[in-house]
């Protein structure tokens, strides 16, 4: 479970860490890097879960343990170069756009194969799975079909010969629907509100 600490201060992260939580999620690079510096005394794994602009790829590739939002070959290669230069080897997830929503980010299905093909030439970044941010619905059952589709997509990629190590993780499910996501095969859930309470912004 990734505890999504975006907008919450370092004291909230410290409290969760004291309770045993190690993985934290952020959606803004600078906010996260500031928290990392303030919490450098703790052994935490930082996950980037927001949309990653290419001009932030360098800092993100050097700073995060896991980047959930790789959605193009260009971004993949930028993050890989940054990680190589920084001497780190982060994990990456390919964010998939199953809904084709113009407002949402994520790779559309035809581009997925290209990203996986390119990932085999990465030198520092290791692609380990798929990430989904489905259209929001209050009703978790309305989201279940998207979770099923991500799992089926994982199966299709395996059938197509994609390296199993690069599709083993499924990052899906948030505060209101993580139980359904787990039923459908999530290996990583990203939970913010249910841990830290409601966010005042974003």
Ligand X SMILES: *Cc1c(COP(=O)(O)O)cnc(C)c1O
Which residues of this protein are in contact with ligand X, per CB under 6 A? 4, 6, 27, 49-50, 133, 174-175, 190-194
Q: What are 34's two structure tokens?
A: 């500031």
Three-class SS of residue 86? helix
CB of residue 106 vs ligand X: minimum separation in angstroms?
A: 10
Closer residue to ligand X in complex, CB, 105/158: 105
CB of residue 168 vs ligand X: minimum separation in angstroms?
A: 20
Closer residue to ligand X in complex, CB, 34/156: 34
Is the CB of residue 2 less than 8 Å from the CB of residue 47?
Answer: yes
Strand partners, 135: none
Closer residue to ligand X in complex, CB, 65/191: 191
Identify the CA nearest to 147 among candidates 180, 174, 112, 105.
180
CB of residue 195 vs ligand X: minimum separation in angstroms?
A: 8
CB of residue 191 vs ligand X: minimum separation in angstroms?
A: 5
Closer residue to ligand X in complex, CB, 17/84: 17
């Amino acid at each position: 479970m990734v505890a999504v600490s975006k907008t919450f201060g370092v004291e909230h992260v410290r409290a969760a860490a004291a309770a045993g939580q190690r993985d934290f999620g952020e959606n803004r690079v600078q906010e996260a890097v500031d928290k990392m510096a303030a919490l450098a005394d703790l052994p935490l794994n930082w996950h980037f879960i927001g949309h990653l602009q290419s001009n932030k790829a360098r800092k993100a590739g050097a700073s995060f343990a896991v980047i959930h939002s790789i959605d193009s070959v260009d971004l993949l290669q930028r993050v890989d170069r940054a990680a190589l230069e920084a001497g780190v080897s982060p994990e990456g997830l390919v964010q998939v756009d199953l809904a084709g929503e113009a407002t949402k980010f994520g790779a559309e299905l035809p581009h997925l194969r290209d990203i996986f093909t390119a990932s085999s030439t990465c030198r520092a970044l290791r692609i380990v799975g798929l990430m989904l941010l489905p259209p929001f619905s209050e009703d978790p059952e309305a989201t279940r079909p998207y979770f099923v589709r991500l799992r089926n997509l994982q199966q299709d990629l395996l059938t197509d010969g994609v390296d199993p190590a690069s599709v083993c993780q499924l990052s899906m499910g948030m505060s209101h629907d993580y139980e359904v996501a787990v039923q459908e095969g999530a290996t990583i859930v990203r939970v913010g509100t249910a841990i830290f309470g409601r966010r005042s912004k974003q």
